[in-house]
Each structure stands twice: as structure tokens, then as C-alpha cells.
Amino acid sequence: MSLKKALTVSAAVAASLAGSLLTASGAHAATPSSSTHVVSPAYSAYACRSWTTGNYAYVTDNISIDSCYWVENNGYTISATIPFQNYSGTGVWYCAHAINVNTGGWAHDFGCGSGVSTGQGSTTAGTGGGGAGYSEYWNAPAGTYVVSTGFWLNGRYYGDVQSPRTTIGAH
């Protein structure tokens, strides 16, 4: 992480702790909320589900994950990270996609992280592959989104752990 990004993330954390408008969904599914973080051009934003819930979402088999988004300084390019705690003894592929909150539809496939990981850590979605059309970075159109994270374990997908909402303004 660059110094500039680290400072921006630190500022975002401070703003969140000072009472910003970030909201988080439940452990596995988004619930409607009137509060969102509106991102305007020239501002960046970073938020994780655990910032408002205080913990990662326990999914299955001693695996807990978080869901985080990063909006670049242009105000509309989004990327996703997946912090994890995997004490199952089995490596899994961590993946993420964006959901349009207003329609409930899948808006973008960020792909999966760059490794099959156990223990505690974090991976960036899109660095390890994904479905057709996936990309690590997404130039989101105006709208309200959550990042939904999960993982592949023994040929089955688990997750739908959702980040706080972010609203992308017109650009």
C-alpha cells in the first residue's frame, strides 16, 4: 500500500470513527438502510463490514471473512479486499463481486484473490483470476453498491458477506 493510500485509509478510518454515515449490513445479507457513504469526485473512501459490526462474519468450518471496498480518488473506481481468518486447515479461494443495492443485481465481478490461503490475512480480489469479464478495478456508474465476498471450498461457494454501502455520484 502506498503512503498516499495509507494516509487516505487512515483519514477514512478516523472519519468513520468520528460518526461518518457508513452503515453495514447483517452478517450475511444486506438490509435496506437510508444511510450511505456518498463518494464525490476528488474524494476516496474505504470501509469494511467489521468496522461497524466489530468482527468478521463467521461463514463455516472455522472460516470468518470481512468485506471491504476502496473507492479511488476519482470517486468512481472501486476495488475489493477480503480480510480473512481461516482456521479450518483447508485453503480456500476468496472472491468478491459488487451488488447494485437498488436492483439487487450483480453489478461487477472483481474475481478472486491470488492464493489459496489459511491462517489470518487479506487478499485483493481480482489478483488471482475470475469469471469472464472480471477485473480488479471497476469504473462504477452512478448508484449505490455493496461489495459481497465469499470463498470456494470443496467445489461449493460460501459467503455473501456484504460491505457497508457506498454511493457513487454522477461522473
Average pLDDT of the residues in 56-61? 94
The SS3 assignment for 128 reads coil
* Residue among 166, 87, 93 at smallest CA distance from 124: 93
Beta bridge mates, 149: 96, 161
Please, what is the average pLDDT of the chain? 80
Q: Which of 39-53, 61-75, 126-140 has the highest mean pLDDT?
A: 61-75
CA distance 65 to 160: 10
pLDDT band at residue 9 using 50, 70 and 90 as cut-offs: very low
Cβ atoms of residues 65 and 48 within 8 Å: no
Average pLDDT of the residues in 26-32? 34
**57 alpha-carbon distance from chain centroid:** 13
Its sign, for the CA torsion 11, 14, 18, 23, is positive
DSSP class of residue 35? -
Quote the cell numbers at residue 133.
469479464
Average pLDDT of the residues in 104-125? 92
Model pLDDT, residue 38: 58
pLDDT band at residue 116 using 50, 70 and 90 as cut-offs: confident
pLDDT band at residue 101 using 50, 70 and 90 as cut-offs: very high
Model pLDDT, residue 30: 35
Beta bridge mates, 167: 38, 144
* Residue among 91, 94, 96, 137 at smallest CA distance from 117: 91
**129-167 residues labelled b (16+ CB within 10 A) or e (exposed):** ebeeebeeebebeebbbbbbbbbebeeeebbbbbbbbbb
Model pLDDT, residue 12: 38
For the entire predicted model, the pTM comes to: 0.75
